[in-house]
Amino acid sequence: MRIDIITIFPEMFEGPFSESIIKRAQQKNLIEIRLHQLRDYTMDKHKKVDDYAFSGGAGMVMMIEPVARCLETLKAERIYDEIIYMSPDGDLLDQKTSNKLSILKNVVILCGHYKGIDERIRQHLITREISIGNYVLSGGELAAAVLVDSVVRLIPGVLGDETSALSDSYQDGLVSPPVYTRPQEFSGWKVPDVLLSGNEKLIENWKHEQAVERTRKRRPGMLEE
Ligand code: SAH
């Protein structure tokens, strides 16, 4: 999968994309992430990419021209399956969406800033809008990093068996059961006996019961679905 990210703060991605699973996915050539500095696509001599809103009021709005020029350049090279705008009022990101996105080939992610982006970008140039939650961030970069992380770990070959995504929360309509590791006892707090029993069937049943119970308590809506 190739992911092109349009941003005015490309450095914000350095940390999240240069560690752990996303780093390995790039090294294994399972994903290719390209960061594009939006300011490189403005004709303005001061590299301005935002301007005052026509309505007046506080906050700057990101202009359509640099975004359109950047997208034109990218689209001349390949066909994109989705051009996503990270937006607080977009479709709420969930595991189903990440699963669907993980089988795409080419994706663009546009990060907004300031007061948002000119509405005409959203109407004419964007194919999809995604929010990571009902709260407002200062920019789309952190949201885009969250989206990329949740998608990349689902691409076949990215995770080894030991971290298989299939057993994670939401993948089978349930949240994960609790997990334990050594020591067997700490400050009198014990690991449930069943997990030490060696009886695979009992352990499987216990995990399933725990997952259902947790889902009922924490995400009752999921069981209804
Ligand atoms: N004035 C806008 C908020 C702009 S926030 C409004 O009230 O809707 C600036 C940028 O941060 C947005 O353009 C968007 O790209 C990003 N952003 C903020 N919150 C987000 C969220 N919850 N999910 C995804 N992107 C978000």
Closest Cα to atom 12 of ligand 1: 112
Which of 152, 177, 192 is where one domain is finished? 152
Are residues 54 and 8 located together in one domain of the fold?
Answer: yes
Output the CA torsion sign for 82, 1, 100, 21: negative
pTM for this entry: 0.96
The minimum-distance atom of ligand 1 relative to the CA of 89 is 8
pLDDT at 57 (0 to 100) = 86
Q: What is the pLDDT along the chain (225 residues), one digit of tens a residue?
A: 999 999 999 999 999 999 999 999 999 999 999 999 999 999 999 999 999 999 898 899 999 999 999 999 999 999 999 999 999 999 999 999 999 999 999 999 999 998 999 999 999 999 999 999 999 999 999 999 999 999 999 999 999 876 678 788 888 899 999 999 999 999 999 999 999 999 999 999 999 999 999 999 999 999 988
Are residues 146 and 214 located together in one domain of the fold?
Answer: no
Count structural domains, the chain.
2
The CATH number for 216's domain is 1.10.1270.20
Are residues 217 and 133 located together in one domain of the fold?
Answer: no
Looking only at the bridges linking them, the beta strands covering 60-62 and 50-52 are antiparallel
pLDDT at 48 (0 to 100) = 96
Are residues 126 and 173 located together in one domain of the fold?
Answer: no
Mutate which of 38, 87, 93, 130 for ligand 1? The one with the most ligand atoms within 8 Å of its CB, which is: 87
Are residues 14 and 68 located together in one domain of the fold?
Answer: yes
Are residues 97 and 19 located together in one domain of the fold?
Answer: yes
pLDDT at 162 (0 to 100) = 60
The minimum-distance atom of ligand 1 relative to the CA of 114 is 9
* Tens-place pLDDT, residues 186-215: 999 999 999 999 999 999 999 999 999 999
Closest Cα to atom 18 of ligand 1: 137
Closest Cα to atom 8 of ligand 1: 88
Query: Is the bond preceding residue 178 a cis peptide, omega within 30 degrees?
Result: no
Cβ neighbours of residue 71 under 8 Å, at least 6 residues apart?
Answer: 6, 83, 108, 125
The residue range of the domain holding 50 is: 2-152
The CATH number for 69's domain is 3.40.1280.10
Are residues 186 and 122 located together in one domain of the fold?
Answer: no
Are residues 140 and 184 located together in one domain of the fold?
Answer: no
Closest Cα to atom 11 of ligand 1: 139
